[in-house]
């Protein structure tokens, strides 16, 4: 039982604070929000650059630039709970930290925002489309629409302003973030995953605490959503199996349904796309929700067999 104020760590952006406030409100106890600046917030370099680094055997590449400072604060006892965008989490477990809750996921799809409401297919040849994600850039190029993909950084307001003032013709953002900020009315088109497959765990939040903090783990367990955990587990298993970080051109989306016998079953799609859009491998797998990680690992192996390493620039 929690008898003191729970200190909840959050990044300082408007989206992070909004997401964390939602989790805090659901806890039903006294909460103090503690803003923490991460390496990813300080640096303006491309994410692929600041996350670059060798992967440990069986682990994802990347350093968790939006996560590490919050985890350090957890382990130091400065905060009791950390709230992350789940897609930012490294896939390797962090000693001493428990992924205590994955609340019900928001819509994981990507969204296009244009200045005059045009859809992706309606954009003129040469239109400048901004994104900070190599995955989105690769998939947009693979569509062959003739748009110019522009690498950008910045929070949601900064990116939307680039469209409003004419620096860009469009930006692609996570629909979940726009909805949480109440700005989904600006969306011109929700992108079909058949065109642009979302990032693994996009739209989900990850709530962590210290592994040995039993009262807080019990408090957070009430926020966990079983379908979200199964889907996110499968998607992150694909990423782990590919030994890829969150800046890799990897898309994954898992849907959970109930079969004729009343058991939960997953349908998992994943893709790896060359950064220049010149090639891609896209496959799917199904299985029981109770075997979500195994299904994801199996699909990753199939992707590697189909040439995913070469598409990510790791092949000979």
pLDDT, tens digit (0-9, with 9 covering 90-100), for 83-124: 999 999 999 999 999 999 999 999 999 999 999 999 999 999
pLDDT in tens, 3-18: 689 999 999 899 999 9
Say whether pLDDT at 56 is over 70. Answer: no
41 is catalytic: no
Tokens coding 117? 């409401």
Q: Mean pLDDT, to the nearest integer, of 58-84?
A: 81
Spatial distance between the Cα atoms of 278 and 143, rounded to a whole number of angstroms: 10
Q: For residue 38, what pLDDT is reported?
A: 65
196 burial via Cβ count (<10 Å: 0-12, 13-18, 19+): buried
Does residue 73 register a pLDDT over 90? yes
- Quick one: pLDDT at residue 261? 86
Which is catalytic among the residues 88, 110, 169, 213? 88
What does the pLDDT read at residue 61? 42
46 pLDDT higher than 70: no
β 189-190/110-114 pair status:
antiparallel
- Looking at residue 255, its pLDDT comes to 98
Quickly list H helices, 147-265.
156-164, 175-180, 214-221, 226-241
- Predicted confidence at residue 2, as pLDDT, reads 65
Q: What percent of the chain has pLDDT over 90?
A: 84
Q: What's the pLDDT at 53?
A: 42
Identify the pLDDT of residue 59. 37
The predicted pLDDT at position 260 comes to: 84
| 246-275 pLDDT per residue, tens | 788 999 999 999 988 889 999 999 999 999
Query: Quick check: helix, strand or coil at residue 266?
Result: strand
Sheet holding 250-258, edge to edge: 250-258, 264-273, 280-288
User: Quick one: pLDDT at residue 33?
Assistant: 95
CATH tag, 6-103+204-224: 3.40.190.10
Which CATH number is 110-190 given? Answer: 3.40.190.10
pLDDT class for 50, splitting at 50, 70, 90?
very low
Enumerate the domain spans of the chain. 6-103+204-224, 110-190, 239-311
Q: What is the model's pTM? A: 0.90
Mean pLDDT score of the chain, rounded to an integer? 91
SS3 (DSSP) at 102: coil
* Domain 239-311 homologous superfamily, CATH: Porphobilinogen deaminase, C-terminal domain (3.30.160.40)
* pLDDT per residue as tens digits for the range 195-254: 999 999 999 999 999 999 999 999 999 999 999 999 999 999 999 999 988 788 999 999
User: Given this chain, do its domains 110-190 and 239-311 carry the same CATH topology?
Assistant: no
| Residue 145 φ then ψ, to 5° | -90, -5
Rg (CA), the chain: 19
* pLDDT tens-digit readout, 128-138: 999 999 999 99
């Amino acid at each position: 039982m929690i008898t003191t104020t729970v200190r909840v760590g959050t990044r300082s952006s408007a989206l992070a604070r909004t997401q964390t406030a939602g989790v805090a409100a659901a806890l039903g106890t006294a909460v103090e929000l503690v803003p923490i600046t991460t390496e990813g917030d300080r640096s303006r370099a491309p994410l692929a650059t600041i996350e670059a680094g060798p992967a440990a055997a069986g682990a994802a590449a990347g350093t968790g630039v939006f996560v590490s400072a919050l985890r350090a604060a957890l382990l130091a006892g400065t905060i009791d709970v950390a709230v992350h965008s789940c897609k930012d989490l490294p896939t390797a477990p962090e000693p001493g930290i428990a992924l205590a809750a994955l609340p019900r996921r928001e819509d994981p799809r990507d969204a296009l925002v244009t200045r005059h409401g045009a859809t992706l297919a309606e954009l003129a040849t040469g239109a400048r489309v901004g994104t900070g994600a190599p995955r989105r850039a690769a998939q947009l190029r693979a569509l062959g629409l003739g748009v110019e993909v522009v690498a950008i950084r910045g929070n949601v307001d900064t990116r939307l302003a680039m469209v409003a003032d004419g620096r860009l013709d469009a930006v692609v953002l996570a629909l979940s973030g726009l909805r949480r900020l109440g700005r989904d009315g600006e969306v011109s088109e929700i992108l079909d995953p058949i065109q642009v497959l979302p990032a693994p765990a996009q739209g989900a939040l990850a709530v962590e605490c210290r592994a040995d903090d039993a009262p807080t783990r019990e408090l957070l367990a009430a926020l966990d959503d079983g379908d979200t955990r199964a889907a996110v587990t499968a998607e992150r298993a694909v990423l782990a199996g590919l030994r890829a970080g969150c800046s890799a051109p990897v898309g994954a989306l898992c849907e959970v349904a109930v079969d004729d016998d009343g058991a939960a079953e997953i349908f998992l799609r994943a893709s790896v796309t060359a950064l220049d859009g010149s090639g891609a491998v896209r496959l799917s797998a199904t299985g029981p929700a109770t075997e979500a990680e195994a299904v994801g690992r199996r699909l990753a192996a199939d992707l590697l067999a189909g040439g995913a390493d070469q598409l990510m620039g790791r092949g000979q």
